[in-house]
Amino acid sequence: MTFSTSQKGFSFVGWLLVLALVAFATSTAFKLVPHYLDYMTMKKIIEAADNNQALDITTVNDFYGYVGKNMQVNNIRDIDLDKALKVTVENNAFKAHLNYEQREPWFQNIDLVMKFDKQLSVGKP
């Protein structure tokens, strides 16, 4: 039987390992989360084109202009709109294909790669 006097809890090395693991996870999260927030904002911008009837979006160029302006408003600068978004008109609706890749340096020569691929159908007013 062990007594409470012999139980000490985490050692100094144990606490250092826990601290290193928390720092590793936090560093990774700080690099990934902004890209996912930009992606979710891009999806909301595209979906909002369907909800706002006051907008006069009738052509593909109007759609690109609307998305580009909203990217500026939302401070999204890491995404090249011409490469990331392809818009076509099918069955009286805009078909938007958001497809891009983001790379974030992680440690030395290791990068975190995030691929985003979403197809959205937006009604044409």
Q: How confident is the model at residue 99 (pLDDT cuts 50, 70, 90)?
A: very high
Domain residue ranges in the chain: 32-123
pTM exceeding the 0.85 threshold for the entire prediction: no
Burial tier of 74 (Cβ tally within 10 Å: 0-12, 13-18, 19+): middle
Average pLDDT over all residues of the chain: 90
State mean pLDDT over 93-121. Answer: 94
What local confidence, expressed as pLDDT, does residue 12 receive? 86
State mean pLDDT over 40-45. Answer: 96
Residue 117 zone, left/alpha/beta (φ > 0; ψ -120 to 50; rest): beta
